[in-house]
Amino acid sequence: MRCIALLVCALAASLSLAQQQSPPADAAPPAKPPAPAASKPDSSGQDSATQPDSSTDEPDPQESSSHETRTDITPPPDDAKNHPDSKSAVGDLVPSPPPIPDVQEFHPWNPMKASKDIEVGNFYFRRGNYKAALDRYKEALYYKENDAVATYRLAVCQEKIGDKDEARKNFEQYLKILPEGPYAKDARASLEKLGKKQPANN
User: Confidence class of residue 77 from pLDDT cuts 50, 70 and 90?
Assistant: confident
Distances in Å between the alpha carbon of 109 and those of 124, 141, 194? 24, 10, 32
- Indicate if the pLDDT at residue 128 is higher than 50: yes
Higher pLDDT, 71 or 135: 135
State the Cα torsion 77-83-87-89 to the nearest 10°: -150
Q: Decide: helix, strand or coil at residue 80.
A: helix
For position 48, what pLDDT does the model report?
Answer: 47
| Dist. CA 119–CA 115, nearest whole Å | 6
| Dist. CA 163–CA 159, nearest whole Å | 6
Instruction: Please report whether residue 132 resides in a domain.
Output: yes
Instruction: Please report whether residue 187 resides in a domain.
Output: yes
CATH number, domain of 176, equals: 1.25.40.10
pLDDT in tens, 5-23: 667 767 777 776 656 655 5
Instruction: Please report whether residue 161 resides in a domain.
Output: yes
For position 120, what pLDDT does the model report?
Answer: 96
Its domain, for residue 149, covers 111-193
pLDDT in tens, 41-50: 555 555 544 4
Instruction: Please report whether residue 181 resides in a domain.
Output: yes
Number of domains the chain is built from: 1
- The shares of helix, strand and coil residues in the chain, as percent rounded to the nearest 5, are 50, 0, 45
Instruction: Please report whether residue 69 resides in a domain.
Output: no
Instruction: Please report whether residue 159 resides in a domain.
Output: yes
Instruction: Please report whether residue 103 resides in a domain.
Output: no
pLDDT in tens, 81-103: 776 665 655 455 445 555 555 55
Query: What's at 55, amino acid-wise?
Result: S
Predicted model pTM: 0.47
Instruction: Please report whether residue 121 resides in a domain.
Output: yes
- Indicate if the pLDDT at residue 202 is higher than 50: no
Q: Are 93 and 101 in contact (CB under 8 A)?
A: no
User: Confidence class of residue 108 from pLDDT cuts 50, 70 and 90?
Assistant: confident
88-102, 122-136, 154-168: least confidently modelled range: 88-102
